[in-house]
Amino acid sequence: MAVDRKATGSNREVVVVAGIRTPMGKMNGCLEGLSAVELGMHAVRELLARSPLTRDDIDSVIIGNVIQPTDAVNISRVISLQAGIPRQVPAHTVHRNCASGMQAVTDAAEKILAGRAEVVVAGGVESMTHAPLLFHDRFRRAVAGLQRARSIPDKARAALGMLKAPWKPRIALMEGLTDPVVNLNMGQTAEILAREFNISRREQDEFSVQSHQRADKAWEDEWFSSEVMHLFAPPKYAAVHRDEGIRTGQNMEALAKLRPAFEKPLGSVTAGNSSQITDGAAMLLLTYREKAEAEGWPILGYLYDWAYSGCDPARMGLGPVYSSNTLLSRYGMSAKDMARVEINEAFAAQVLACLKAMDSKQFCTKMLGAKAAVGAPDMDRLNVHGGAIALGHPVGMSGARLVLTLLRQLKHDTGGGLGLATLCIGGGQGGAILVGSEPWKS
């Protein structure tokens, strides 16, 4: 199949030289003592230590992050400097909600294709633990009034206003996971999909158990041990390697006991069949093929093409269907042609809805303008080492993690072929990236 990669418009082939991620820790869990900056710093430092190139080879640093810490607003730059990357190397932070990590990777790839950089560190980082608690806006106004007040009566009045203003903190994490346009929580958008695609609680729970079992087995087989670095997190500095969220022996009975998390009492989305709120960082080192070959750097895999597309914010979970169709139809391919597929498991209902939509002729003709159903990937090629339900979903990091784990699967498990990593994005978008472990052949 002769392929003209017109979308990228460049002769360069973007390669990933190395990649590493931290273990993922549950919210307020084992990585509680590390800020997002520290997580990113550890990951970048480890990435550089494990790759053959020196810090002077790097041209740019791009890192995705959602809950941008107020004490490190351009978190990418802070991470870059703390990890010892020379100060003349520029760094910027990108944000596309749950796809921020993937955005960083594709931005880096585009920079390389455009000839504006040769070697880029790209990745994602998130510490959901450290999402701040915020004051109410009326409280802010009262504080501002107090600062402005000059006379003593004014000051007293302002102080009284401050006391009367609401003291209850707003939880940034919850507000961030709510779409302000349709005013729905992410979990509620998953409930919509579950209803519309007729996905039962049992199906969702079965998918979740499978995710845990696969992740647990992958760790037992030491499949993850070279993908994940060790972290020594304060205050105990005990070694953390395994992802904290994986439950060995997760079963249907345990999941059945959970109550719906978002729509009580009739909903079907629970904490057990949703992705876990976690902390973590993943980093990749990107360059292009000629450079890597000339320098003798190893090549983990190639990034061929990528696409982002929009959809209904209230059904943001279907984003992967749209974006992967946009991407794959460029080459006349479907998810069935992929050796491995990673669909980020934001919610079990959401992944299952995507699969059903891909297999539905009605959906594909109406929504995608296709002639027939585009076809869903087989379950034995999808998320084979578990997904976010078991491992966790540090929002800014997951996109980079998917690319890393997919490339490693293609290199070590299938020994070649193409892979698709795709995820849904809060606000009604989808992102997809096409990768392979060997140069693009016709």
Binding mask 5-44 for other proteins (x = CB under 8 A): ------------------------------------x---
Q: List beta partners, residue 39.
A: none
Residue 62 token pair: 């791009």
Which residue in the set 13, 46, 107, 179 belongs to the binding site for other proteins (CB under 8 A)? Answer: 46
Residues 140-179 that bind other proteins (CB under 8 A): none
For other proteins, the closer CB: 30 or 327: 30
> What number of CA atoms fall less than 13 Å from residue 61's CA on the CB side?
34
Q: Which is nearer to other proteins, 85 or 376 (CB)?
A: 85
User: Closest distance between other proteins and the C-beta of residue 47, in Å?
Assistant: 10
DSSP character at residue 21: E
Dist CA 423 CA 364 (whole Å): 18
Q: From the candidates 30, 98, 354, 364, give the one annotated as an active-site residue.
A: 98
Distance CA 421, CA 63 (A): 18
Residue 366's alpha-carbon distances to 92, 194, 198, 357, 358, in angstroms, are 39, 19, 19, 11, 12
Q: With contacts defined by CB under 8 A, how many residues of the chain interact with other proteins?
A: 17
Output the six-digit token pair for 12.
Answer: 């360069």
Residue in 30, 354, 364, 424 annotated catalytic: 424
**Is the distance from CB of 122 to CB of 399 less than 8 angstroms?**
no
User: Which lies closer to other proteins via its Cβ, residue 239 or residue 252?
Assistant: 239
3-state secondary structure of 232: strand
Our CB check for other proteins shows the closer of 175 and 220 to be: 220
* Residue 83, beta-bridge partner list: none
CB of 38 to other proteins, least distance (A): 8
Residue 212 annotated to the active site: no
Residues in 61-90 at the binding interface with other proteins, rule: CB under 8 A? 82, 84
393 given a catalytic annotation: yes
Question: Looking at beta carbons only, is 69 or 176 nearer to other proteins?
Answer: 69
Minimum CB–partner distance for residue 238 and other proteins (Å): 5
The binder of other proteins chosen from 148, 236, 259, 361 (CB under 8 A): 236
* Helical residues (DSSP H) of 51-136, grouped into ranges: 75-82, 100-113
Measure the CA–CA gap between 301 and 289, rounded to whole angstroms: 10
- Rounded to a whole number of angstroms, the minimum distance from the CB of residue 123 to other proteins is 17
Residues 47-66 that bind other proteins (CB under 8 A): 49-50, 52, 54
Annotation marks residue 98 as catalytic? yes
For the CB of residue 345, give the shortest distance to other proteins in the complex, in Å. 28
In the list 148, 241, 366, 412, the residue contacting other proteins (rule: CB under 8 A) is 241
Q: Are 62 and 104 in contact (CB under 8 A)?
A: yes
Output the smallest distance, CB 237 to other proteins, in A.
Answer: 4
In sequence order, the 6+-apart residues with CB closer than 8 A to the CB of 379 are none
Q: Which is nearer to other proteins, 167 or 237 (CB)?
A: 237
**Other Cβ atoms closer than 10 A to 280:** 34
**Residues of this chain, 100-119, that bind other proteins according to CB under 8 A:** none
Indicate which single residue of 116, 138, 164, 230 sits in contact with other proteins (rule: CB under 8 A): 230
Provide the 3-class DSSP secondary structure of residue 283: strand
Q: Counting runs of H as helices and runs of E as strands, what totals does the chain give?
A: 15, 16
Which residues between 285 and 314 bind other proteins (CB under 8 A)? none
Shortest approach of other proteins to residue 211 CB, angstroms?
26
Mapping DSSP to helix (H, G, I), strand (E, B) and coil, where does residue 216 land? helix
Strand partners, 280: 126
Q: Which of 42, 212, 385, 393 is catalytic?
A: 393
Q: Cα angle vertex 312, ends 310, 316, to 5°? A: 80
Interface residues toward other proteins, by CB under 8 A: 41, 45-46, 49-50, 52, 54, 82, 84, 230, 232, 234, 236-239, 241
Catalytically active residues, by annotation: 98, 393, 424
